[in-house]
Amino acid sequence: MFNRRSAAAATALAATFALAACQDSPPPTAVGGIPMGDYVMVGIGNGTVPLRNITMQVNETSISGRGPCNGYGALNTAELPAVALSNFTTTYATCKDQALEDRFFNALRQATEMEYYGGVLRVKGPTWLVFERGVPASQATSGVSALEAARGTQ
């Protein structure tokens, strides 16, 4: 009978550790629970961004990145996870995705907070911006596309 209790206790302990390992904890390079680094936008408002051609690099006191047409940068005068952007600057080019970029820039200028959970960064404001960690495939430096990496040596 003692062995059954020990086995049950060991199983319960193992299950607890397994569940703890599944929790999403920010990497050690996080400030205010927000991991620093590169992100790709996957959603704006209630819609998706299928081209994944908008990036953001989050640093402790600034953000920067590229829209479909222009680069941008701004200082964050608040302490993360709060957001209060100032000195928002962009380059000045136009392209076919100008409307999306304008919507993104306007939402970013009005952002008030960030949250990171489940591998997703949400920038909160009147319009939500949703990002995943990483860079677009077109900017990856490995020389191997995601499709080629998935196929391996086939």
Read off the CATH number of the domain in which 57 is found.
2.40.128.270
Whether 86 maps to a domain, the answer reads yes
| 3 against 101, higher pLDDT | 101
Element (H or E) spanning 62, and its range? strand 62-66
pLDDT digits (tens, 9 = 90+) for 86-132: 999 999 999 999 999 999 999 999 999 999 999 999 999 999 999 99
Between the alpha carbon of residue 51 and those of residues 36, 67, 97, 132, 153, the distances in Å are: 23, 11, 10, 13, 27
Q: Report yes or no on whether pTM surpasses 0.85.
A: no
Q: What number is the average pLDDT over the span 59-66?
A: 96
- Structural domain of 38: 30-136
Whether 18 maps to a domain, the answer reads no
> How many angstroms separate the CA atoms of 146 and 152, rounded?
10
pLDDT at residue 15 greater than cutoff 60: no
CA atoms within 13 A on the CB side of 50: 0
Query: Could you give the number of structural domains in the chain?
Result: 1
| 22 against 140, higher pLDDT | 140
pLDDT, residue 141, reads 59
Q: What number is the average pLDDT over the span 27-40?
A: 88
Tokens of 78: 């608040």
> Which residues make beta-bridge pairs with 86?
75
pLDDT at residue 21 greater than cutoff 50: no
pLDDT, residue 64, reads 97
